[in-house]
Amino acid sequence: MMFSMSMLSMSALDQDAYRHRRVMITGGLGFIGSNLARQLLELGAEVLLVDSLIPEYGGNLFNLEGVESRVRVNVADVRDEYSMRYLVAGQDYLFNLAGQTSHLDSMRDPFTDLDINCRSQLSILEVCRKINPGIRIVFASTRQIYGVPDYLPVDERHLLHPTDVNGINKMAGERYHIVYNNVYGLRSCALRLTNTYGPRMRIKDARQTFLGWWIFQILEGRPIEVFGNGTQLRDFNYVDDVVTALLLAGICDDMYGHVFNLGSEEFISLRDLAELLVEVNGRGEFHQVPFPPERKVIDIGDYYSDYRKIREQLGWVPTVPLREGLRRTLEYFQRHIDHYR
């Protein structure tokens, strides 16, 4: 299968851990949610996808292409407590991936970001504790909550001082999960994702990540715009590796109440990334443009993660090199771009 996890990652995961288990994914029609759903189907899970399909977010029904009949889809907003009470009942696992991811949108409309990234999280945690306290929860947090790094690579002991409203609200959303774990014994942990890319990502704008937008540009034959001098460093994870990390976190009972960085040893400057993307694509071009002021003021500068904690505790390592991941991603979108415009 084209996008299955590599053998190396898979080796750390008990192949029967999710068989016949009931698994709910919020944001399940989105980029990571749909890739996770596909892997869970491979592992024999019963998968329920919950997604609001809000147009600015990542949900896309095409992400289920080929597996539509094997999953249950419920369109609902996580903020809707009554729907959630019904949906959460009887689930063994919750992968809580629903969220607003755009930094710029969070500055333009901080109240919606608050609703999605804070109120919704409280809502779903309250429902879990009341209706299904035995559920196991993995929350998708983000390296954005560190803000401008005080040191590199950034480990989990780094201070949290996010640079924008989205980062603050995601920080609160993550902390709710840990507090509900500690106070109510609800088993909950969080992964702090860095830049994730791969098939089914949102590419029609930069709301999920600038890399999606770059991929869209290059496939449309337009030049990539690199902001500023392009020397900022970033690390990237291919989505299959992130899916493996989520699956490993879900079944490791000792790790509830913990947070884990994801990351990669392959960090790269944005300029070099643009060059690599053009090279892998076989054509295209990029040029450098001045940093838009509204982005500059919330930019985090250089960033890459120290992910030793998850490597040591859960045996996770990223396995798909950037060049190979980009190749797979471009190939996917070359075939399916009409569904992602």
Binding interface with a copy of itself (CB under 8 A): 107, 110-111, 114, 118-119, 122-123, 126, 157, 159-165, 168-169, 171-172, 175-176, 178-179, 182-183, 297-298
Sign of torsion over alpha carbons 85, 87, 93, 97:
negative
Which strands form 136-142's sheet, in the order they lie side by side?
72-75, 46-51, 22-26, 93-96, 136-142, 187-193, 259-261
The tokens 């896309």 sit on which residue? 60
Q: Of the two residues 47 and 145, which places its CB atom closer to a copy of itself in the complex?
A: 145
CB 29 within 8 A of CB 49: yes
**SS3 state at 97:** coil
Q: How do beta strands 233-234 and 268-269 pair?
A: antiparallel
Q: Of the two residues 29 and 189, which places its CB atom closer to a copy of itself in the complex?
A: 189
Rounded CA-CA distance 207/202 in Å is 8
Shortest Å, Cβ 341 to a copy of itself? 31
Q: Of the two residues 165 and 314, which places its CB atom closer to a copy of itself in the complex?
A: 165
Q: Of the two residues 225 and 299, which places its CB atom closer to a copy of itself in the complex?
A: 299
**SS3 state at 229:** coil
Shortest Å, Cβ 159 to a copy of itself? 6
Shortest Å, Cβ 314 to a copy of itself? 21
Q: Of the two residues 85 and 175, which places its CB atom closer to a copy of itself in the complex?
A: 175
Q: Of the two residues 81 and 92, which places its CB atom closer to a copy of itself in the complex?
A: 81
Q: Of the two residues 75 and 122, which places its CB atom closer to a copy of itself in the complex?
A: 122
- Of 86, 135, 141, nearest in space to 118 by CA: 141
Look up residue 116 and give its DSSP letter.
Answer: I
Shortest Å, Cβ 340 to a copy of itself? 31
**SS3 state at 38:** helix
Shortest Å, Cβ 38 to a copy of itself? 33
Rounded CA-CA distance 297/24 in Å is 37
- Of 181, 178, 175, nearest in space to 162 by CA: 175
Shortest Å, Cβ 310 to a copy of itself? 18
Rg (CA), the chain: 19
Shortest Å, Cβ 53 to a copy of itself? 24
Rounded CA-CA distance 16/6 in Å is 17
